[in-house]
Structure 1
Amino acid sequence: PFFKRRSFFTPYADELRRTDGTAARILYDYVKQETNYPVDLLLAALLQRQPLDALARELHWQYVLPDAAPVEPAPELAAQGLALLRLPISEVEKADSVTAWYTREAARRADEALAQAAALFAKEPMLGVLSPAVPLWPAARQSRDADWQAARPALQGKVNVPLGQDPPPAPACGWALVRLAAVADGDTLPAITAPEDAWLLPLKAQQNGFFSASFTTAAQSAAAADQLALHYQQAADPKAVAKQFGRLVKHKLKK
């Protein structure tokens, strides 16, 4: 049997035209669990040659944590080679009020998710950076995309990995849990003082052979699935497309 390594980074829109979008992840799990092929060595090689955002979409490097997690003792992060990084609050306040609220709320609840997040690092030895996913709020997604495009030129010469057009999984919502071996220079953690520093975290981990991921709650994950279904439904309805186009023109004219 054989498979194409391109399966792990093919354009995701092409994947959705042919499958339900999970084919690459199913392939990865099958090869890893049912064969003796060193698929993680292939993944390490791809991390050096392919944009992180493409790999993250195809392999679904997004985890789902329970909505109401049981209270657990704070994990000994240093003993596990992990560290908690918080984004500077000054950057949070630059966002629109709704995005800023989501970010502050995620930062406030960081300690509640630490035990489960640390457990993911124990399960996934190639995981380097984990952070809350950007909320579905449209302005939050647009702000993240704009920040990436603004930071991308300056990042080109700072890391030796390819940068995609779309943003990679990166700390954009309050905090991140990181594996020291993936991002630290010796025992020194990188300073996070500006958005560009946050983008460097997953890229540096990628350069060192680690991937980055985000996580959502079960409710957020269900909402994303419902949103996708709604988009498909509206895309097939000319009236809905025309209405959405009218709203877009109105908002552009107001600006």
Structure 2
Amino acid sequence: MDITDYQRQEDIWDAEAARAYDTPGSGMFAPEVLGPTVDRLSGLAGGGRALELAIGTGRVAIPLAERGVPVTGIELSQAMVDRLREKVDDAALPVVLGDMASARAPGAFTLVYLVYNTISNLVTQAQQVACFRNAGRHLVPGGRFVVELEVPGLRVLPPGREAVVWHHEPGYLGLDTYDVVAQRLVSHHIRFGEGRQARIARGPHRYVWPAEMDLMAQLAGLELESRHADWQATEFTADSASHVSVYRLPGG
């Protein structure tokens, strides 16, 4: 099935998804996951303003703002923004409703960031390049664009196979189907109910290699400053499953 047969991102992140997104104290909201993220971003902001692309329900932005960093967001999904507004008002954390590849937020920023694999939600290379350029337009000279992204997991995909199970537990099965020619995948989330009942949610992605991201950055006038395997600045190696890459706009 072609990736275009699946829903648009603004349809995927509907009210039901927004209600289920927050998992306080666990998953991506676990202190050991969220704490180092906020610590690193706070330092990179350098006392200036921060812009989060795809701010969602404020998982990172709210604790970052509580550290004293002025944060603005861009978000495509009105439902996610509505969920954010249940926690904090527009005066404390303004959000521009729009596509992270093109929407503009007022002012300039010392830090723009895009976390938790979200750049892969842009399912064409052109959209991803546009996102880098949009980030660069928002930065002051010397400002930084930070991207957190998984390394494509093709090493676990057997030759001739197009799918891999990446997680399973009682009541849940997660698997990815790959189109390695188009550099795309669809994540399938299958939750089992009573008897034969099951619910399936699907999310389309375009996976990106670190070297390809570096070229996107160059097209946007940005330079790679650092790359680590995680937010704790662990060394990035050939075996790293993800990376946190920091790009800098020259000058300043």
Q: Verify same fold: TM over 0.5.
A: no
- Identify which of structures 1 and 2 has the higher relative contact order when contacts are C-alpha pairs closer than 8 Å and 6+ apart: 1
What range is the shorter-chain TM-score in?
under 0.3
Structure with higher strand content: 2
Q: TM-score, normalised by structure 2?
A: 0.24
Say which one has the larger Rg: 1
Q: TM-score, normalised by structure 1?
A: 0.24
